[in-house]
Chains A and B, each alone.
Chain A
């Protein structure tokens, strides 16, 4: 189902320009975004509240500084144990959220679909809140059993259960009705929100503070443990979506026509939904609700390279990662030494930018 082989990519660069063929532009854009991500990674590693540039670490590789010097050791800790895991997590979550947006929008044939909209994020959030509030009491045996993995797994479970309920409600005789699914998603999201509200009502002051910061979203708590817990899930989910490109392209013509083109539609939808639930659940668990990535990034890219998912998926993954890392860098320095939750940055950058795009190009977005 994938057309994303290296051979295809190389042949795209060689073939003559044809009217209406945006493949070459798209391939160049993907390469450009890869370079952008590298630059943003560099920025992410060299900025922060400590003011450390990380130069001493590079010097220490070449034996130019004394490795037992406390200043060098401090710098090594900042880079290796604070900024590097944060960068890795930022890349994975940014890519995961952006790609989940693309897949949901393609699946629902609706440019406004987003994991946040169909209740997947709300369900994952509920899974996380349950552990934050009840972790010391009712859910204590679970915490004892799973340790630090309790929160990510619970959020992932919440996202998956929401998706499965959603799917169960909106699928009859092997056919998923997209309108029903969107409406059911809104209902399930509201229900998950209500239960979350009850738990918030039960929470004590310390838990409320945890909840607020988690809810706004942040990469601040990034550790190698979190990277190990959530990273593989997100990475596998993102990688697997690249194989969905051909099917998502066919689905833009409608489910029946996708089937006529040879896509096993129902099985395809099962795989796509599982990938989205995994990426969103694991992301929400480690970083809370980071909004706007899944909707701004794919829209922006569709304006530039068009809706061909063979390019939209990798481009969204790269730009989503850059966007989140950039927002994280801003959140770290803007009120240093304190830190702004990243959700505030993504929303205040993404919101106005999105409105600006809508005003300029509203005729090209969708119809």
Chain B
């Protein structure tokens, strides 16, 4: 269990996250949704110990602040929104950095980068230079690196967690679905996933639990059908949205859900 209790984050004198509590359970894909500036990424950064916070974050019952960097690294892996590399690494070398912590949980760590690249549909990219790739391809390379770090969703009886900050933001629809499928399989195998998502449909179809953020506050937390209701999301997104309403007869619309039908 990845648990946040009354987490507040202040940058300078301004408090931008107010007493947020929620839990991401092993076996669940938990997503955070909310408008721009609502504190989704800030909350995730606090949970990754990038930012100082008040309150308490625990991973499998252990306080995050008492964990050493390598201990935390063996319990969770983090995918940032985007990553620039300071030197010209090949794709394989970038992915292999995920094995730095040495807790992938596989015997054959040498071939792990290739397997991870296959997983994110980048077979054959190993020899390319990272900076020559498109933004979406770079994001998938980084996901492959993150997967290497916690390849086994459960290690030594401890569930592990993937923390993904907008993992599909620069991906086409095929790869959006593929990435959410990876998240689902990770959770089904006993790990936990916590992802910041912008696409409400993708959140609706992929999540077991959704946390809705608005202006630094958690306004709702629950299963998709409990949370994605007009009275919750209209004030949050300040739009007159209607959950489940179809466009006028004959107008084209494409939902990611249709690919799974």
Contact B88 A306 (CB under 8 A): yes
A103 at the interface (CB under 8 A from B): no
Contact B126 A250 (CB under 8 A): no
A253 in contact with B83 given A15-B110, A20-B128, A259-B50 (CB within 8 Å)? yes
A308 in contact with B69 given A20-B128, A262-B101, A366-B86 (CB within 8 Å)? no
Our pick among A22, A249, A260, A264 for the contact of B77 (Cβ within 8 Å) is: A260
Measured in the bound complex, the distance between the Cα atoms of B93 and A306 in whole Å is 9
Q: How many residues of B contact A (CB 8 A)?
A: 43
A246 at the interface (CB under 8 A from B): yes
Residue of A nearest to B70 (CB): A262
Contact B93 A22 (CB under 8 A): yes
Contact B97 A261 (CB under 8 A): yes
Contact B114 A111 (CB under 8 A): no
Contact B97 A250 (CB under 8 A): yes
A257 at the interface (CB under 8 A from B): yes
Contact A256 B68 (CB under 8 A): no
A260 in contact with B100 given A306-B90, A306-B93 (CB within 8 Å)? no
Contact A253 B90 (CB under 8 A): no
Minimum CB–CB distance for A313 against chain B, Å: 13
Residue of B nearest to A173 (CB): B52
A256 in contact with B80 given A261-B98, A262-B69 (CB within 8 Å)? yes
B91 at the interface (CB under 8 A from A): yes
Measured between beta carbons, the chain B residues less than 8 angstroms from A46 are none
A302 in contact with B87 given A18-B126, A261-B97, A262-B74 (CB within 8 Å)? yes
Measured in the bound complex, the distance between the Cα atoms of B124 and A245 in whole Å is 27
B28 at the interface (CB under 8 A from A): no
B227 at the interface (CB under 8 A from A): no
A259 in contact with B69 given A20-B126, A21-B92 (CB within 8 Å)? yes
Contact A262 B97 (CB under 8 A): no
A201 at the interface (CB under 8 A from B): no
Q: How many residues of A contact B (CB 8 A)?
A: 34
Minimum CB–CB distance for A155 against chain B, Å: 30
Interface string of B72-89 (1 = CB under 8 A from A): 111011101001111111
Which interface residue of A22, A253, A263 has the most chain B CB atoms within 10 A? A253
Contact A21 B97 (CB under 8 A): no
B157 at the interface (CB under 8 A from A): no
Minimum CB–CB distance for A310 against chain B, Å: 11
Report A18-34 residues with CB < 8 Å from chain B CB: 18-22
Residue of A nearest to B72 (CB): A262
B234 at the interface (CB under 8 A from A): no
Contact A250 B100 (CB under 8 A): yes
Measured between beta carbons, the chain B residues less than 8 angstroms from A254 are 80, 83-84
Residue of A nearest to B51 (CB): A256
B65 at the interface (CB under 8 A from A): no
A256 in contact with B50 given A109-B86, A366-B86, A367-B131 (CB within 8 Å)? yes
A7 at the interface (CB under 8 A from B): no
Contact A307 B88 (CB under 8 A): yes
Residue of B nearest to A20 (CB): B92
Contact B88 A308 (CB under 8 A): no
Residue of A nearest to B125 (CB): A20
Measured in the bound complex, the distance between the Cα atoms of B93 and A173 in whole Å is 32
B149 at the interface (CB under 8 A from A): yes
Minimum CB–CB distance for A311 against chain B, Å: 11
Minimum CB–CB distance for B91 against chain A, Å: 6
Measured between beta carbons, the chain B residues less than 8 angstroms from A106 are 86
Interface string of A166-186 (1 = CB under 8 A from B): 000000010000000000000
A253 in contact with B97 given A260-B77, A307-B89 (CB within 8 Å)? yes
Measured in the bound complex, the distance between the Cα atoms of B97 and A106 in whole Å is 15
Contact B90 A252 (CB under 8 A): no
Measured in the bound complex, the distance between the Cα atoms of B77 and A346 in whole Å is 45
Measured in the bound complex, the distance between the Cα atoms of B83 and A254 in whole Å is 8
Measured in the bound complex, the distance between the Cα atoms of B120 and A144 in whole Å is 68
A124 at the interface (CB under 8 A from B): no
Which interface residue of A109, A256, A261 has the most chain B CB atoms within 10 A? A261
Contact B86 A264 (CB under 8 A): no
A256 in contact with B88 given A249-B100, A265-B69, A367-B131 (CB within 8 Å)? no
Measured between beta carbons, the chain B residues less than 8 angstroms from A365 are 88
Interface string of A75-102 (1 = CB under 8 A from B): 0000000000000000000000000000
Our pick among A259, A263, A265, A302 for the contact of B88 (Cβ within 8 Å) is: A302
Contact B78 A19 (CB under 8 A): no
Our pick among A20, A110, A249, A256 for the contact of B97 (Cβ within 8 Å) is: A249
Please list the 7 inter-chain residue pairs (A to B) with the smallest Cβ-Cβ separation, ordered nearest first. A262-B73, A20-B92, A19-B127, A307-B87, A109-B86, A20-B90, A20-B126
Interface residues of B (CB under 8 A from A): 45, 48-50, 52, 68-74, 76-78, 80, 83-94, 96-98, 100-101, 110, 114, 124-129, 131, 149
Interface residues of A (CB under 8 A from B): 15, 18-22, 106, 109-111, 173, 246, 249-250, 252-254, 256-257, 259-265, 302, 306-308, 364-367
